[in-house]
Copies of this chain bind each other. A is one copy, B any other.
Amino acid sequence: MNELADPKLNHLLAALPAEEFARLSPHLEPVTMKLGQVLYESGGALSHMYFPITSIVSLLYVLENGSSAEIAVVGNEGILGISLFMGGETTPSRAVVQSEGIGYRLGSRRLKDEFKEFGPMMFLLLRYTQALITQMAQTAVCNRHHSVDQQLCRWLLLSLDRLSGDDLKMTQELIANMLGVRREGVTEAAGKLRHAGIISYSRGHIRVLDRPKLERNVCECYAVVKKE
């Protein structure tokens, strides 16, 4: 990668006043995030905080028996590694790259120093954490009360919002992991959407054809999370 993306494409970094950004930017390290890459393991130590630019990362919570559920999604609107400044050294969830792309990262030491300046960075991080909590809560109720069909719509839209095009590279198997349902359930729900002419897909490539229709199928949870 010869051309480096502007760190300010991450909304959080963009919201930082010039002075703070200048102080931080020498320490920002560009990283490419590969599909399926695990940034944090659940219970593991955190060495960096990540600022996605074109990538999307899922926060998964994994049970002992291996079944899992997505509790939040982070794209260029947010950051990964909030536990770092919240006081824990470890994170309870696993962070998996859901859509390949680039981003920046910041060493934990540097981040903590910046946080302890009690400046704009701290308030930004806290406000984002608040938004993340909201997203988690909404996801939790959605899990409980809405059908797989609806959840798939929500998931597609949330992913789409964080990407430029109408394409996403993602197998039904992986989506099933995120939603915490069977792969067959996703196949069926996706089949309905395809039949309705809303999406098309094949072997790990999904294309959204009719976004307005997709939005008419989704549950209220999408709007709430989007507002963030």
Contacts and interface: CB of A to CB of B under 8 A. Distances in A.
Interface residues of A, number: 35
A60 B96 CA distance: 28
A9 interface: no
A129 B68 CA distance: 23
Interface of A is mostly: helix
Interface stretch (A14-22, A131-139, A160-168): A131-139
Interface string A136-147: 111111011100
B87 A130 contact: yes
Nearest to A136: B136
11 contacts: A63-B145, A71-B137, A86-B129, A86-B130, A86-B133, A92-B137, A136-B136, A136-B137, A136-B140, A141-B180, A143-B143
Interface of A: 61, 63-64, 67-69, 71, 83, 85-88, 92-93, 116, 118, 123, 126-127, 129-130, 133-134, 136-141, 143-145, 180, 220, 224
